[in-house]
Structure 1
Amino acid sequence: MDNMRKPPSTIFNSLRFKLITGLMLIMLPIVLFLIYTNFYSIQVVRNQVAQSNSNMISLYTGLIDKSLADIDNYLLKYASEVTGLHVLDRSPEIDIDLYKLERIWQFKQLVNNVTYYEGLDYFFIYSPINNDLVFAPKQTGSADADNQPIKDAIVSLIDDGQSAESFQTGRWSVFRVNKKDYLLYIIKVGGLYIGAGVNTQDVTGPLNLLDLGADGRALLVDGNHKPLKDESFFREQGIDLSYTPKSYRLSGFDEGYLVIGEHSGKGDFGLVAVVPDQSILQKLPYLQRIISLIAAGTVLILLLAFYFMRRVVLRPINRIVLAMRRIKEGHLEMRIAKKPTSNEFELMNEMFNSMVTDIQKLKIDVYEEQLINQKAELKHLQLQVNPHFFLNSLNVVYYLAQERKYGLIQELSLSLIRYFRFMFRSHTDHVLVRDELGHTKNYLNIQKIRFPGSLTYAITVPDDLLDCCIPPLIIQSFAENTIKHAINTDEPTHIEISIERDSRNDEERLHIRIRDTGMGYEDEMLEKLRQEIKLTTEEGEHIGIWNARQRLRLLYGGQAIIGFSNDNGAVVDIFLPIMKG
């Protein structure tokens, strides 16, 4: 930490100063902006007018669609119920009188019914095979007089295949004749075409009652959003009549008009209202310009403030967050690079890098300790049920059975049963001395049968110490270590286990000694054992001694002692506090 560079003491490089300055740059425009709260009234008024007119347009569109739906239903019903239509769909030469009578009857039916539908101008039936049009106009409609151009246009439309394709069968489409616009509906029944026409001026008549301002308009548009009247006005004002239902848009030069529209559900046309923006904001044009300038200035200042905050605060914080994420992912080598920044962030970065270094070192130490603990635990479990020991014991049973030494088989089986019974219940911290010695005897008896003539043992312990408590497997582990390293088939090995009281140092302790007549410890190994140097290897060698030390340290702290020496063989002395069971 002594090598840390001292941050500059200038106040202008302080995070506090920078934050206050940045917040002032943000808040001052907001305060000024709040003074001109009338800016919001413009949008509120505009939204209210747009919503009101949108609701009205939707209402009128619904009424128009309902009227058109009534006509649709009538034509569909007419086409399905009138049985004489097929007469018009064949050559009159078959029966000219029947053809004429049927034609007259169809005309009267349509004329009688056309008066029942408001806005409807005419019905018609056209037979392409006979090039014959039955045209039934409403007597009070615009098509009652001088209707020959309408008839010719209908025949031309149906006979011209390409023009007919532009009209969707069963949908209302815009149909223009002599600068008059109609909504035309056609359905095909066999070889006949049955349809109806509605004058758009009659449909949009009620829209003239809407108060849309001096230059406001309400009109129908076709599927391409082209107006059906006042085309020159919209062209001169540069108004685009495209619309989004349930919303509004500004159009025209200087966006001076609100365009509100609703698409018909019955055909390829829509109803549009165009409202001058000036009529909505009659007394607010001057204030509107002032507020627009303020809004533009506020946006610019906010952008500058954001850039300022990003450079001074957000970037340094982002570097710290990025480093923390990398460290969370396991990249402990990650460090925050030194870059020019505020005093506080420089200190934070240096402290962060220092702490990460300490954490990395600590994690490595903990990781190594965990590895050793895991290996010790694994070795401990392996010692509890050693597959090699179990298989070797079964192998001995097999050979004894071949030699029919049933007495030894019984003795071995009984020792194995007692051995495994103890192993399966030795998961407590302490057991009685008599139980530990009994377990050790079972183990040594098994090994005596396995190595006949190569192993002897003796156990001595006063009766008053049999009920003392000691850690499980603490004696058997060292006895097993002797079997592993000291047994020699050339000459017998003797193991002596003794337990007695030790009254030295004014404190009674339990003294456990395990000694054998083997080769003893090598000098280098003995020195390492006395210095308590870790002897564990990757293969788990000597893990039993290290495990015993760890267990005693955890259970007794500094009150337990293990000593190693050579005296015509290996000697292990264990001193434990006396604990009665």
Structure 2
Amino acid sequence: MLHINRKIKKRSINSIIIKISLIVLCPITLVTLSGNYYCQRILLQQAADYNRGTLSLHMETVDTELDNLSRSMFMILYQSLNISRLLQGKDSDARIDELLNIKTTLAGYFNAYDNADGLFLFSPATKDYIQSTSGKESIQDRTKLKKYIKNVIISSDYLDKLEGVWHPIQINRKYLLIKVIKKDEVYLGSWIWADSLMEPLKNLEATSGTSFFITDNGNSPLSGQNLLIEENLKITNSALSKFQFGSRHKYIIIGIPSSTGNFRFFMVIPYHLVIQNTIFIEKLILIVYFFTLLLLAVIFFQIQSQVIKPMNALKNGMLEIKNGNFNVLLAVPKETAEISAMTDVFNDMAKDIECLKIKVYEEQLEKTKTHLHYLNLQIKPHFFLNSLNIIYSLALTRDYKLIMHLSKCLTDYFRYIFKSSDSMVLIQEELRHINNYLHIQELRYTTSFYTNLDIEAGLDFTCIPILLIHTFVENSIKHAYTGKALLVVDIKAARGKDDFDPNLEIVISDNGCGFSKEQLKELNTPVVITEVREEHLGILNIKQRLSLIYQDKASLQFNNNHYGGAVVTIRIPLETGRPALALT
């Protein structure tokens, strides 16, 4: 069966909680913001429609008064005045009577109506100009207005706009609406100041907090210029159909065009007046939103304290067990039954593992001691047979004195290797034993061996495995001594150069023929030893014992001297006491 391993991206519980919180909060936030925006737009549109009705009523009133004024002008010109008498001779009685009639008619109009600020009659042919005003303008304004009317009518420039509808003009930085009708080259006109049209709205401005102003059809202001300048309001035609925002949403603006003239009324409503009724709803929405945030935060912290924290404790406990520390006991949380049960199971498991570890450790230790003892016993008989041969040879020569001396040396030798089952001895004990062993060999071969000892000061009480140096000295005698030349064995012991990992370096060398290339390759190749063979008993025995005691912290290296002879370099951890066996 084909198994496909897919790498699954792992996510923490915290990231999952945050993701779920975002999934919940994002729609809530979106609905809250969009709902709030929608409600405000609806409210603004309703406020605009309501106030547009108020503004439309005022505009209808103004248009009605302007229509009435236009009809009154038509009746005056076509019914109340006799234009033919006005156009007679300059000094005729009929003309003078008609001029008086015109003045009386125009003045009488102001006594009956108040929907105009001024009336005038102008005859370019006779250059007669008669006017009657309400007195709202200054003499300078009245003089400039008279001059403007005469110039427009005489030059016929711009006259078509004044004859059609009520049209705005500017006099001395003031704006007014003017309209002119014509009969037989005689012109009758009327004007109304823009401020007069605003008079009925002042009370509404004072009570409602809104503002009003008038513009021409190009949206140039005829009144309320100060408000437009101070608030930097720019009027667009969108205010005529729906509403327009002004000055960074501080105001909304609505407008109504006139049906009788080239002007428009606009209302400016402060934004806060429109939405003041929704403040409670907005606060309520914000309270619900922040309550949701608070609830999610409480849930998050509850999960942190009752789930995440205990699970992190479980994870850390498992890491401690992974690192070999089985003496772990976690506090059992009381808030969550499931987490409490998991913690109890973990504590029981840690205790079981600790007991099992101790049992396995004791079994391994016993097994290792047994193996070491077996290896030591392998070495001890190895020399025992050779010793019996020496005694036998001396007995044949009947040299009983030498036999007694040799027996004493052999007794010390075997007492050393049989004195205990311990695998570690002091280096000075090992060197004393080697001297005894060499003396035995000298008695055997009736020759002398030269031994050069170079032991660094302070290392006499350093512990080494028993027979560690002896094994290689014995090999030098067995393989390097030929009986023809003096055998020299050098034994050096010194501390290693690594200050962070102190070790003992022992070098054993001789002046024999050294190792062959095949032997060096075989001896320096690390192999897993599963069986001790008789032909490699000594070296393989040392390798196994070093592996059991130090594992990979010990090394054994074989070389040849450049002048001949074998060199064995041993590196082991520097210990001044008897180290515990290293187990895996």
TM-score w.r.t. the length of structure 1 is: 0.41
**Quick one: higher RCO (CA 8 Å, sep 6+), 1 or 2?**
1
Bigger-Rg structure (1/2): 2
TM-score w.r.t. the length of structure 2 is: 0.41
